[in-house]
Each structure stands twice: as C-alpha cells, then as structure tokens.
Structure 1
Amino acid sequence: MPRDLLIVVTGASGHVGGLVAAELAHRGIPFRAVTTHPERLPDLGGADVAVGGYAEPDTLMKALEPGDRVFMVSMHAPPERRLELHRAFVDVAVRRRVGRVVYLSFVGAGPDASFVHARSHGATETMLAESGLPFTAVRNGMYADEIASWFDPDGRITGPGGDGRISLSYRPELAAAIVALLTDEAYDDRQVVNVTGPESFSLAQLAAVASEVTGDAYRYAPLDREEWIDYRKGVGRPDWSIEAGISYYDGVRSGEADVVTNDYRALTGNEPLTIREVVALHRAEMPLSSGAAARPG
C-alpha cells in the first residue's frame, strides 16, 4: 500500500503507546503503529502496522520516513540498557530525517536528579538535543492509574519519602497530550512539557485520601531506607528496580517529585483528574477492596 503516513507511534502495544495509538485511531488520524508484538494490538481502525523495535535498528529503518512525526516511547529497562536502546532509535531517526520526535520522559529529568531513571531520561533528552532532531520531551510523574501499587497488602505505603510531596500522571491524559503534540504543529516550540495531575500531596496525604474515598484503613508507615531495600529484595524485585525505587524516594524527600503544571489543560483544553477522582475510578483494584489481588507496596 502507498505510504503517506506522517505520524508514527512506537511501543504501540504497550501502556502509553497503546493509548496514543487508540486515541489516534478514535480520531480517524492515519498513523503507523510500530510494535514488537503485533498480536497484542487491538483494532486500530486500519492503521498501518510495522513489526520492529529499538533493539533491531533495521526494522526501524523500514518503519520511519523523512518528515514523520514520531512518538518515541521510553524503554522499561536498567538505565544503561535503556540508553543503548534510545541511542539506537535516535541514530535511525537522524538517518531517516524524521520531522519531529515526541519523547516520553520524566519530571525532573537531568544529570543531577536523585531518581536514576530521571537521570537516564535527562541523558536521552541531551542525546536528542545533540542529534539536531526537532523534539519535545513529555515529562510525566509516576502513573496515577497504578495507584493501588503504592500500597502493600496491609494498606501501607512503606516507601521512605518523608514529608516530600509528589504529583502523579494519569496515562489516558498523558496520551491525549502526546496526541496534541503529534498532530498540532502550533506546539512545536515546546521543547519540554510536564503532564501532571492538578495537585501535589505527601504520601501521608495520599494514604488519607485513599482511606476517605474507599472507607478502608490506608496509612503511611514508612520503613527506613535499608529496611525498605531489604523488603523489596524479599518480594523478589531485581537489584536495578530496587535501586530505582529507593532513588525515587530520595528524590521525593528532596522535593524533586513535587511538580504541578497547567500543560495538560493548555494542550487539550480539559481538566485533569484529581487524586481523589483517580482513587475512586480504581477503587476495586485497591488492596483492601474485597477480591483485590495481593501485591507488594
């Protein structure tokens, strides 16, 4: 079939990429979905599908064309591996002379961040800047739709974040903002946007909201740093994930996660959900709800 697509979505069978692809399909906007797992794709309204990924640059060479506006999903991997994969994508994007990259980053991205993933996101933003590719970094916080995972099976938040405040990002809202950046050239002057909820809160306040909305007894009961690391090892988390988790809480204590902007409203014209509304939407998934699966907090 003739290729006249201008928008490309990588990671189209993943969480954020899948939502971006679904939103484009819902709007009837032609695009190409790039995925390593085409069998996981839902009906995308006739979108072109390319099988490929960052670990196989030759597949990206076939998926990208000059002038494309590309959503660059970030890889869920240890920082060193993430940067290798991101470098592979950027190198192909330069060779294929894509028109614009919209990159999924993280709030506070930069070399001095406590959170190791924020540092690798900052390194990727630098990589993009040095490549000469036009790009926008979309920085989000931890995902609000995973609100239940903040609590252990006993309803505790155990992370040692002290009194630091956090903001969260709701994936459907993040996807809507990304679609706006991909489809509207009026936003091309924005090199960084932060897509967050409308408020920040301490972990104790998050537990209090969960209790008020659900009627169950959630609480903030932080472990100390070494206790939390040992606890995560005990539930089988890999070392790189534990390092990322504890460095996130280090950043919470130092204020790095306290980011709230109006960028979502500016890009979409919509109001973001409050944390109270998010908890209400995901109430059935909360660990103290009847039938909820047990999970580590």
Structure 2
Amino acid sequence: MLPTVCAAWCVRWASIQGALIKDMRADSTSRGSRILASVMSKNMRLVNSVARVGSSVIRRYGRPHRAASNTLDRPDAIYVQTCPSKTLGAGRDGMSLDEVVLSLAQRAGLRLTVIDSDAYCCGQPYASKGFHDAAHETSSALINHLVSITSGSAIPVIIDTSTCAAALVGEATQHGLHIIDQVGFAELVMKGLTITSRVNRVVVHPGCGVEKLRSTETFMNVVRSCSKEVVVPPSAGCCGMGGDRGVMYPELVESALRSEKNEIPTGVDLGVSCNVLCEGALTRQTGIPYMSLLHLVEQATRH
C-alpha cells in the first residue's frame, strides 16, 4: 500500500522549499536575463524548435515527436502536448506518447481537438529559474488560448505531463478550465475500453506532479486494473530530475533514487510513471524499462 500521507507531506515540504529557492533565484537574476526570458516566453515556437535539436539530451532521454494539430467544432476533450513529451516523447520501441493519447481516444470513442502546442508552455521552466514574470506570461498565453477554445464550457483539457498539469491547474481553474493529466485521461478512456491483457509485475513511481494533483489513488487504481501485481517502493517520491536539474547534475538523480532502486525486487517487468523525464531517469538508474501510465493502458487494452 502506498504511504500516501508520507508521500503527500514529502511533496508539500518539497514545494515549500522549491518556492523558497525560486524566490532566491528571482532575487539573483539580472535585468538582462529577465529581458531574455521575457523574449523567449513570447517566442515559444522558436524555443521548442531549438529544444528538439538538442542531440546530447535527446540521445539520453528520448527522441523528438510532435502531435499534428487539428480543430473540431464540438470535441469531447482538448489535448495539449507538453514541451517534455514533444521534445523527448517519441517511443523507443513503439508508439510515442501523443500517438498513444490519440489511439486511446479514438478507441474509447472520444473526439479530440489537438492544439498547436509549439507556441505554448505551462511556464514551469521559467518559474523554476526564478523568472516569475516570464512564467506568468507563458502560462497566461496558454490559458487564454484554452479559454477562447472552450468558450466557458467545462470540457476536459488533457495535459500529458503531470508536473505541467500541476503547474497550470491553479490559474486554469480560476478561468473555469478543467485540467486533467495522464491519470485523469486514463480514468476517462477506461470507461470505454476493455482490459484484454495484464502485465505480470509492475513497479510504480507516481511522481511529484501526481502527488500535487492529489491523484495518487486514481493512479494506483489504473495501474492495478492493468497489472497482476503492483510493487510500490517505500521511498518512491521525487526522482531528483526537477525539470532540467537532473540533466545538468546527474548526481541529484543518483542520490534521490538510491534507496528506491534498492527497494525494487527482482522479477519486475516494467515501471510506470507520468513524466517522460522521470521515466528516463528511472530507467537509467534502475535498469528497468519505465513507461507512461497511458502506455500501460494502451498495452492492457490493445485488441
């Protein structure tokens, strides 16, 4: 059983510390760096294009893959492909995350509008470095665009990375938007799908975003539906990636996952999380292939 209370307090304490660090970083930013961040926040299409050519990171964390945008008159949900998934989200041995989202929606009978997400971002990359104004500009641009599409309706907005969803949900809710992450989307599509095969043994790492969204219990229920046995490492909390921090300082990931790695028994088939960066870090540190929650649902419901 997942130590929900401990995990939740761990994430909340980390959030408090994170907010303090962000404020300290904001105090140390120069006027020039703030101007540059503001310019970048207004030109996210260029930023995302440049990010996809980062070959050294891509070789370690995945390959770029971008969902084709489309607009429907009366969709059942709106899909926003996040920066991590479109920059690093191509499947190594199968479907990319956006392909999984579209496949699950189609098989569950849901019509999706896919926005041109290259021009948008949740703002978290700027917030984490102390550029609060740039973060607000970026998140507000996305939220305003979503408000214009939804026209005030409570249509679900799918954000395919849980940490990005957690960064948006507060402001988005104030504007009447209904944000869901992988967990919420999995719960939605499984109402119209049938489990046809279950993985024998799965290890889980819900991650910080899932904890912040308070959807850990639903995450676990989805995993249990798709597997015969679920392994929950007692130390499963933050993987240490912290966005790009784990890329620049790999020792953070090694330290954060040291206990969790040793708590995973032999005979585990695969691991499941809700963030492509976390999945890459977990795969490298544990030697177990980690996939997204939606990949697990796709695999379990595939005909």
Q: What's the TM-score bracket when you normalise by the shorter of the two chains? A: 0.3 to 0.5
Higher-Rg structure is 1
| Greater fraction helix | 2
TM-score, normalization: structure 2? Answer: 0.33
